[in-house]
Amino acid sequence: MALTPPTLGEVLKQIGDLAEKQNIKGEADRALKALTQSALHKLEVVSREEFDAQSSVLEQTRARVKQLEAEIARLGETLDQLENS
């Protein structure tokens, strides 16, 4: 019969149980939180607020690019008309 390794949830539960027994749960929680924040920072994960702010800036930039493209097209038509007259 093959042995299967414990799941991550089981390992975390065992760590939590051990931490409670040794009265270091608060320290373990702080360490886990710091480790999680460090991992998220390395992944360059941003908050929802930052994502929404950047999405808004991108939307405004796209609208401005569209305006400038239309203006360039109008100026090109005007230039063509002037060259043909």
Per residue in 11-62, pLDDT (tens digit) is 788 877 776 676 666 777 788 888 888 887 888 878 899 999 999 999 999 9
Tokens describing residue 79? 């230039």
Q: How far apart are CA 23 and CA 12, in angstroms?
A: 16
Does 64 or 16 have the greater pLDDT score? Answer: 64
Residue 70 has pLDDT above 60, yes or no: yes
Put residue 44 in one of left, alpha, beta given phi > 0 → left and psi -120 to 50 → alpha: left
* 35-46 residue pLDDT tens: 888 887 888 878
Contact (CB, 8 A) for 8 and 2: no
Written in H, E and C, the secondary structure of 40-68 is HHHCCCCCHHHHHHHHHHHHHHHHHHHHH
